[in-house]
Structure 1
Amino acid sequence: MTDSSKNWPVMSVAEAHAKLTAPGAPFEIEEKVIRGVTTRTWKNAPPTLRDVFLNGMRFKDREFLVYEGDRATFDSFGRATLTLAHQLIADGVKKGDRVAVIMRNLPEWPVAFWAGQLVGAIVTPLNAWWTGAELEYGLADSGTKVAIVDDERLGRIAEFLGKLPDLQKVYVTRHAGPELPATVHRVEDVIGTVNSWSGLPELALPDVPLEPEDDATILYTSGTTGRPKGALGTHRNMTSNIGAGGISAARNFLRAGEPLPELDATKLPQRCTLLVVPMFHATGLSATIGPTLNSGGKLVLMRRWDAEPAMKLIQDEKVSSTGGVPTIAWQLIEHPARSKYDLSSLMAVTYGGAPSAPELVRRISETFPGSQPGNGWGMTETTATFTSHMGKDYENRPESAGPAAPVGEMQIRDPADGKTVLATNAVGELWVKGPQVVKLYWNKPEATAETFQDGWLRTGDLARIDEEGFLFIIDRAKDMLIRGGENIYCVEVENVLYDHPDVMDAAIVGIPHKTLGEEPGAVVHLKPGGTADEAELRQFVRERLAAFKVPVKVAFWPETLPRNANGKILKTELKKVFAEG
């Protein structure tokens, strides 16, 4: 497991964490009693999202947001945010009111989000991929008072506006259509267009008391089955990601025997992130926008993911990190035009939300020599990052999602009783605890009681934890197949398929069977030029896994497999492939 040529690692994960979290250390930990539960927290994390905003204002002249022809500095972003915040106060928004943000990744998105935070609202980012009826559900369930949307989303919710008694006002950005209804107003009438934000007045912060345990966000779960649930998160939940991301990189330096780098963002060159996951998702918001604003980084946005335009942006904007789901990394690696672009600025290609093949870790290191591959595990209910895995640790344990940030605790429990803690390396249900875990599900007391117990979150993931605390996600408990009494962990079969040189994307789903209950079926998307057929792929799996795990059928999908906004493959869609016969 170690690299003897570099004497790696020179210390264990536990030793590195102890060094980084000791009194006076940059990632010092202190215990707080939160809702009656003693919880480890980051002592030096920004207390609230207002503090994250103020930290960003230290970098006034740096560019913060880039989108096509729009560019905004931290100063102009701050002016626009404060102007919109004062408008929300004039609209009667008070602490605890819900303000929804519904738009694609636009510069106006973080302005709307932080304007709501600065007035003490519970900001509710709704899924921009939802239909009008789904958006109506989110607005009604959350009791949203003011919604800030883009033109496309306005079109989707227009027919429902009269059916939402709590919704008093809607703001729309980038509206090119006819006159608007009386309750809908243009964002540009308040803050102007992006490139004019620098001319707005410098207003004072709203005088609203904010504390770490105050409610800050409602983030809706994926909703792959049943109605999405709104996860009510606090300011501490949201800001805990800043420590979780930072300590992962610092741990790598210590384990390699290297001195810690400079951690003061004001003394470092600006980092640039190409953000290709949705801002309304916990990864985009909590793990990316918040830490980037806090440390003076730059965010480059795309209207939609497209590999070659992305490579041009990486070259032109000197992007240092990007990612989202494994498909994005694969497309950068496999693209025939990759050699036309200078991608040497890339330092990290990271992803989560879906299993990734061990081969991908190797290919990132080979293809982008200056870049570290990275992944992690988290959920909407953990406000994104709970474990992080980068660099050498990831290369040596490519099937793992990494160790938990030291404020977090993990247990593997018996799924049958939800109480018995299992031994090291035993497979069971993952339970987690920490300052990232949200308070409850909005308006869902029964689901809250089932999922949140004594500070612990029941994740529904089957997993194991090894001797050093590295997490291995085996499967979603509800997605595991049982073929004639034999458990089949889908991710195990998927990883074998990913190892085939022709396979770019793969998923295992259950095919109903009269006597066995269900059998495994594979849905595969091939790489450009890939020629593998069903017989070849079944034989490939047969040579590597037990016979009962071999897919009985293989279907070929013409493009990358359908995913929800969180990056999870929509297996309910794929099952339809096998519905006949």
Structure 2
Amino acid sequence: MQAEKTFSGMMRALPPLFRMDEAKGLGRTFKQQWGGGGNTLKIVLKIFTGGQGLLKNLRDLGRVKVGKIVPNWSLAMWEIFDEREAGVDGDRRYSYRELKDRVLKLANALQGLGVQPKDRVATMIYNSMAFLEILNATSLIGAPMPFVNWHLSGEELRKTINLRTPRVFIFDADLLEEVLKIKDGLGGVEHFVVLGGDGPPPQGMLSYEELLEKAPATRPEVNFLASLNPYTGGTTGIPKSSNLYDSLSYALSDLAEAPRETFENFLPYTMRAFSYFYWFGGDRICDPVSRNIRSLIVTPVYHAGTAAGWAPCFMLGATGVFMRKFDAEEFLHLIEAERINWVFVAPTILQRVLALPDEVKKKYWLGSMRSLICAAAPCPPQVKRDINRLFMERGAHGPVFSEYYGSSETAIITILLPEDYEEDERRINSVGKARCGDLGIFVEEEGRWAGPNEIGRVMGRTASTLALRYPGSEDKLHESIRIIDGMEWYDDGLLGYVDEDGFLYLTGRLKEMIISGGVNVYPLEIEGMILRHPAVFDAAVVSMPHPDLGEVPIACVQLHEGKDASADDILAFCREEGLHGYMLPAMVEFFPQLPRHIDGKIIKRELEKLYWKDVERKG
């Protein structure tokens, strides 16, 4: 059943919606981040009176046509905030007044290039303020914005871009050489726009800054669609495109495609999807100078998880501080220098920070931090403890580590907060409880839902999964959507269990599970044990062939620089920590560096192929 937006349906849905704790928390968050009740009232009034005027806005609202009303939200914020810092990009600082002018110019420039609602404007750029400019401009005019991974090259890059057939492709000047190699194979791209660079762009391409210079800073023809369009699955072949612009926009847009759920049932999922602003402390965080969230954006903007870092800038008036490329010491320096109180990271970032010499870590005051949000890959519990210890030693008021589980398809499902593991220290081993969607553990072999502490397949149900489509590869949807007891669930291919209090513990990916002599072996459990060894920096457990058992686990280990340990040391440590039998690695091998994707996930297929070369693979 698809959602049909009607005024009567909206009126029925709103009373229970506003009674939700998540709605109340979001209300407090907007009030806090928008600068109090006075500013909030001004912004709300401008939303309903701006643009086409109060009467036409009310008429459209009565028809549940909001595409020309919602842009007033952003425009009102920018006008009210005015000289508040919108972003910091290297030595350059941008006010909200400047952001507004540049966004309006870009929106008009894109429409001047022929961009229509639902046309794609793809980007392949490093972390910079230009990301917020393009995101806001494309959202105003309803043009999805595919985030292209700048690590891709050649045929893989060409296929990834062509999957979404963008009309405009904006890319960083440092990536020009890669783009030129495939330019002739990008038949759908009408305009190539170069961001940055010292000289003029090549013939047939446009300069980003020149586009802005020639365009007016006036209100464009607006038709709102939150334009975020990340890719997913990029470590295992050509990525798929995730239509988050539909699911997260549906209640706020006339362009978004309807979810596979009634409007009244879908709205609470939308409210829960955005509730992470509140759960991660948005109703309390207040910089002493700018009075808002100040977010350090360090993970690549093409990664879906990075939205947890930039979304407060998009919706709440936060200040975004951009790191073009990650450096562990600079990360600490920027937290101190820019009074950072909110950051999204992958676990590998925390590991690199903790690996810094003590004298470097002690140079920086980190007392401004309130929410350090981690996701994208499993974070070892000891890393969680150690990063809390570092921040509290350097001035933080208490534990700062938070975590979520989600994906490009689901957005956020579970959230782990400091108060969770302060109440019960065992919970630090979990990824939190379902706060932004529904969660279930399904025992596939028996066709039933699991009980507490019983391992099964992790199933999620969120606003994003209910509208998921994979534009350009729609046929892939059936691989992950399941109908169980008449309801639609998303299967992420993960295994885990939920305890009596609803906290989710991940045990690994189904495709990574090792079946040794008929016994299921979960690599994540072994990796977590090995990572407790003081000499170990990183670890990955993969399968290797065995003549009798079929396959057995092998531990691939990267040591801390300057520390030593032998294979026997690692195995003895595992035994002391309780690993035995099939769970004990059959072998330990050492690597100078384990292959990790930039989002923090270990690329295990590169390790496994070392051991399965010329061997017939398991079923």
TM-score for both structures, normalised by structure 1:
0.83
2: CA distance, partners of 1:531 / 1:475: 28
Superposed displacement of residue 261, structure 1: 5.4
Q: Aligned equivalents of 2:288 and 2:276: distance in 1?
A: 18
Of stretches 46-55 and 499-508 in structure 1, the one that deviates more from structure 2 is 46-55
| Residue in structure 2 matching 1:271, options 285, 293, 300 | 293
Call closer, same or farther: CA 1:461–1:335 in 2, change over 3 Å: same
User: Would you say 1:72 and 2:98 are equivalent positions?
Assistant: no
For 1:115-130, list aligned pairs within 5 A. 115-130=137-152
Which residue of 421, 427, 437 corresponds with 1:394? 421
The superposition leaves residues 360-397 of structure 1 with CA deviations (integer Å, 9 ceiling, x where unpaired) of 222222221124111110101013x2211121213521
SS at match of 1:440: coil
Instruction: Name which of 352, 356, 367 aligns with 2:390.
Output: 367
Q: Deviations over 1:337-377 (max 9, x none)?
A: 11122222222333112212222222222221124111110
Contact 1:413 1:430 in 2 (8 A): yes
Root-mean-square deviation (CA), in Å? Answer: 3.1
Inter-partner Cα distance in structure 1 for 2:320 and 2:131: 12
CA distance in 2, matches of 1:273, 1:49: 24
What secondary structure sits across from 1:487 in the alignment? strand
Aligned to 2:460: 432
Question: In structure 2, what is the Cα distance between the partners aligned to 1:261 and 1:92?
Answer: 41
Q: How does 1:496-575 map to 2 (within 5 A)?
A: 496-543=529-576, 544-559=578-593, 561-575=594-608
Give the structure 1 partner of residue 5 of structure 2: none
Match of 1:346 among 369, 394, 408: 369
Q: Is the 8 A contact 2:123 2:169 kept in 1?
A: yes
Tell me, what secondary structure is at the counterpart of 2:353? Answer: helix
* Alignment partners' CA distance in 2, 1:23 and 1:64: 26
SS in 2 for 1:398: helix
Corresponding residue of 2:313: 292
Q: Output the amino acid matched with 1:190.
A: L
Counterpart amino acid of residue 92 in structure 1: G
- Give the secondary-structure state (helix, strand or coil) at the position aligned to 1:332: helix
* Matched residue type, 1:135: L
SS in 1 for 2:146: strand
In structure 1, C-alpha distance between the alignment counterparts of 2:544 and 2:514, rounded to whole Å: 9
**C-alpha deviations, 1:263-315, integer Å up to 9, x for none?**
89999822222211111111113x22122332222222222211112222222
Q: Distance in 2 between matches of 1:248 and 1:47?
A: 30
Is 1:219 the counterpart of 2:248? The answer is no
3-state SS of 2:325 partner:
coil
1:311-322 matched pairs, under 5 angstroms = 311-322=332-343
1:447 to 467, 476, 496: 476
Aligned to 1:25, what secondary structure does the other structure show? helix
Task: Please say if residues 48 and 235 of structure 1, whose CA atoms lie closer than 8 Å, have aligned partners that are also in contact.
Answer: no
Query: Residues 79 and 566 from structure 1, CA distance in 2 versus in 1: closer, same or farther, beyond 3 angstroms?
Result: same
Q: Structure 2 CA distance, aligned partners of 1:125 and 1:327?
A: 22
- Corresponding residue number in structure 2 for 1:13: none
Asked whether the equivalents of residues 200 and 207 of structure 2 are also in contact (C-alpha less than 8 Å), the reply is no
| Worse overlay, 518-527 or 419-428 | 419-428
Counterpart among 413, 434, 451 of residue 404 in structure 1: 434
Q: Name stretches of at least 5 consecutive residues in structure 2 with no aligned partner.
A: 1-16, 28-66, 250-269, 615-619
Residue deviations 1:78-105 (CA, integer Å, cap 9, x gap): 2111111111111111111111011111
Q: Aligned pair 1:167/2:201, yes or no?
A: no
Determine the C-alpha separation between the residues in 1 that align with 2:76 and 2:494. Answer: 36
Deviation (angstroms), 1:549: 1.3
Query: Aligned residue for 2:128?
Result: 106
Which amino acid in the other structure matches residue 223 of structure 1? G
Alpha-carbon distance in structure 2 between the residues aligned to 1:23 and 1:367: 31
Q: Greater shift after overlay, 372-381 or 353-362?
A: 353-362
Select the structure that is richer in strand.
Answer: 1
C-alpha distance in 2 between matches for 1:23 and 1:226: 38
| Superposed displacement of residue 449, structure 1 | 2.0
- Bigger CA drift: 263-272 or 80-89? 263-272
Tell me the distance in 2 between the aligned counterparts of 1:461 and 1:302: 31
Other structure's SS at 1:441 match: coil
Residue 248 of structure 1 aligns with which residue?
279
Identify the residue that residue 38 of structure 1 maps to in structure 2.
Answer: none
Q: 1:471 aligns with which of 497, 500, 504?
A: 504
CA–CA separation in structure 2 for the residues paired with 1:48 and 1:132: 42
Residue 203 of structure 1 corresponds to 218
C-alpha displacement of 1:321: 3.0
Give the SS at the match of 1:309.
helix
CA–CA distance in 1 between the matches of 2:416 and 2:73?
25
State whether residues 294 and 341 of structure 2, in contact with CA within 8 Å, keep that contact through their aligned partners in structure 1.
Answer: yes
SS at match of 1:368: helix
Note the C-alpha offset of 1:446: 2.9
Shift of 1:402: 0.5
Alignment gaps of 5+ in structure 1: 1-17, 29-45, 193-198, 251-259
1:148 pairs, out of 163, 170, 177, with: 170
Native 8 Å contact 1:326 1:352 kept in 2: yes
Aligned to 2:538, what secondary structure does the other structure show? strand
The CA distance in 2 between the partners of 1:376 and 1:116, in whole Å, is: 28
After TM superposition, the structure 1 = structure 2 runs for residues 33-112 of structure 1, keeping only pairs within 5 Å, are 50=71, 53-54=74-75, 56-57=77-78, 58-112=80-134
Q: Distance in 2 between matches of 1:348 and 1:374?
A: 7
Aligned counterparts of 1:23 and 1:495: Cα–Cα separation in 2 = 33
Counterparts of 2:227 and 2:364 in 1: how far apart (Å)?
A: 41
Task: Return the alpha-carbon distance in structure 2 between the equivalents of residues 319 and 480 of structure 1.
Answer: 39
Alignment partners' CA distance in 2, 1:246 and 1:164:
38
Task: Write the distance in 2 (CA, Å) between the matches of 1:476 and 1:435.
Answer: 23
Return the letter of the residue paired with 1:245.
Y
State the alpha-carbon separation in 2 of the partners of residues 48 and 556 from structure 1: 58
TM-score by length of 2: 0.78
Displacement of 1:496: 0.3
